[in-house]
């Protein structure tokens, strides 16, 4: 009896499940230790399970302050990136000019470079311009890599959009604004939403660039790093990590299904 060629072999299936376990077992341990009764060290298996750390985390004002700052940054940085990334994609998707490839490379460079390089560059720029560290310095830092995510989604969608749609709109008497509103934006809608959701997730848990641009401010990832060196109440850090997993998982999942629905044959 011949095997179905469309089904992967047992070796490939085992390798796939091995990769899944390799990626997600650490996440499962974080969730497990959020319920650990041991408050000083990580003992496996935990000696007992409890939900008390969720109440402790809920009552800590420093947790709420860090979450609030991260949410404010993750709300504005992707919004700025959606405007800049969309405009850049519109300028590069269909036009041809000398240096277009170089401009495209410069746009995606911030996410290709190590975060520490971007952070040092931004900190040096702030120091040179004598810009004090504030909420806005963090937003600018996060927007540098959020632009790339939005740009990649938007430019890919614009290149797949038939130019005949725009030409037909113009031929039927629509002006530029009407064409953008009724033809281009509906085509870009799901791509921009997916890019914005991914940018939100990246901004919310970004730590390297934030370290160089936050000054004395404490976003949630920085708070978690600081808490890990403390000898007591370590499960509180795991509780907050579970919240971060939930907050970042949902937009990533939504972005996945939005981009998957746009694939041919879906």
For 88-123, the pLDDT digits (tens) are 887 777 677 777 778 777 777 777 778 888 888 888
High-pLDDT (> 70) share of the chain, % = 77
Q: Please report the sign of the dihedral spanned by the C-alpha atoms of residue 105, residue 200, residue 76, residue 64.
A: negative
- CATH (domain of 68): 1.10.3720.10
Residue 136 has a pLDDT of 92
Tell me: do 63 and 34 sit in the same domain: no
Residue 1 has a pLDDT of 43
Phi, psi angles (nearest 5°) of residue 36: -75, 140
Spatial contact of 221 and 205, defined as CB atoms under 8 Å apart: yes
Tell me: do 84 and 200 sit in the same domain: yes
For 65-95, the pLDDT digits (tens) are 988 899 999 889 989 988 888 888 877 776 7
Q: How far is CA 25 from CA 30, 56, 158, in A?
A: 9, 25, 39
For 236-247, the pLDDT digits (tens) are 888 888 888 877
**Total structural domains in the chain?**
2
Tell me: do 24 and 65 sit in the same domain: no
Residue 3 domain-assigned (yes or no): no
Q: 162 — alpha (psi -120 to 50), left (phi > 0) or beta?
A: beta
Phi, psi angles (nearest 5°) of residue 6: -80, -15
Residue 76 has a pLDDT of 92
| Predicted TM-score (pTM) of this structure | 0.76
Q: How far apart are CA 266 and CA 263, in angstroms?
A: 6
Tell me: do 137 and 32 sit in the same domain: no
Tell me: do 28 and 122 sit in the same domain: no
Residue 2 domain-assigned (yes or no): no
Calculate the CA dihedral of residues 108, 112, 113, 116 and round it to 10 degrees: 110
Residue 39 domain-assigned (yes or no): yes
Q: How far apart are the first and last CA of the chain?
A: 32
Phi, psi angles (nearest 5°) of residue 49: -115, 145
Determine what percent of the chain falls in helix, strand and coil, rounding each to the nearest 5: 75, 0, 25
Tell me: do 34 and 62 sit in the same domain: no
Spatial contact of 202 and 194, defined as CB atoms under 8 Å apart: no
For 119-176, the pLDDT digits (tens) are 888 888 888 888 898 889 999 889 888 888 888 888 877 777 666 666 676 666 666 6
Q: How far is CA 195 from CA 1, 76, 78, 237, in A?
A: 47, 14, 9, 29
Residue 39 has pLDDT above 50, yes or no: yes
Tell me: do 18 and 147 sit in the same domain: no
- Of the ranges 27-36, 113-122, 256-265, the best mean pLDDT one: 113-122
Residue 231 has a pLDDT of 57
For 197-236, the pLDDT digits (tens) are 888 888 888 888 888 888 888 888 888 888 777 656 677 8
Spatial contact of 104 and 90, defined as CB atoms under 8 Å apart: no
Which structural domain range is residue 31 located in? Answer: 8-50
Helices 135-160/115-128 angle, 10° precision: 130
Dmax (CA) for the chain in angstroms is 75
Tell me: do 219 and 105 sit in the same domain: yes
Residue 237 has a pLDDT of 83
Q: How many residues make up the chain in this entry?
A: 266
Tell me: do 46 and 67 sit in the same domain: no
Tell me: do 124 and 20 sit in the same domain: no
Tell me: do 256 and 204 sit in the same domain: yes
The arithmetic mean of pLDDT across residues 174-202, rounded, is 74
Cis amide leading into 45 (omega within 30): yes
């Amino acid at each position: 009896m011949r095997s179905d060629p469309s089904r992967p072999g047992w070796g490939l299936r085992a390798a796939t499940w091995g990769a899944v376990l390799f990626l997600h077992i650490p996440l499962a341990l974080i969730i497990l230790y959020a319920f650990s009764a041991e408050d000083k060290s990580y003992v496996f298996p935990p000696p007992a399970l409890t939900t008390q750390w969720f109440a402790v985390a809920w009552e800590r004002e420093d947790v709420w302050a860090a979450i609030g700052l991260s949410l404010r940054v993750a709300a504005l940085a992707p919004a700025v990136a959606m405007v800049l990334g969309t405009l850049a994609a519109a300028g590069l998707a269909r036009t041809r000019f000398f240096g277009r490839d170089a401009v495209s490379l410069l746009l995606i460079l911030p996410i290709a470079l190590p975060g520490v390089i971007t952070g040092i560059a931004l900190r040096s720029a702030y120091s040179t311009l004598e810009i004090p560290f504030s909420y806005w310095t963090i937003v600018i830092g996060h927007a540098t890599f959020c632009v790339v995510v939005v740009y990649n989604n938007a430019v890919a969608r614009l290149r797949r959009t038939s130019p005949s749609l725009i030409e037909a709109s113009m031929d039927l008497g629509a002006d530029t604004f009407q064409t953008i509103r009724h033809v281009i934006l509906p085509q870009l809608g799901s791509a921009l939403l997916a890019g914005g959701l991914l940018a939100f997730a990246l901004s919310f848990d970004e730590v390297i660039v934030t370290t160089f641009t936050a000054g004395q401010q404490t976003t949630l990832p920085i708070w978690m790093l600081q808490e890990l060196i403390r000898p007591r109440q370590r499960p509180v850090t795991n509780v907050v990590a579970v919240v971060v997993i939930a907050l970042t998982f949902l937009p990533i999942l939504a972005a996945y299904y939005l981009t998957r629905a746009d694939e041919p044959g879906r």
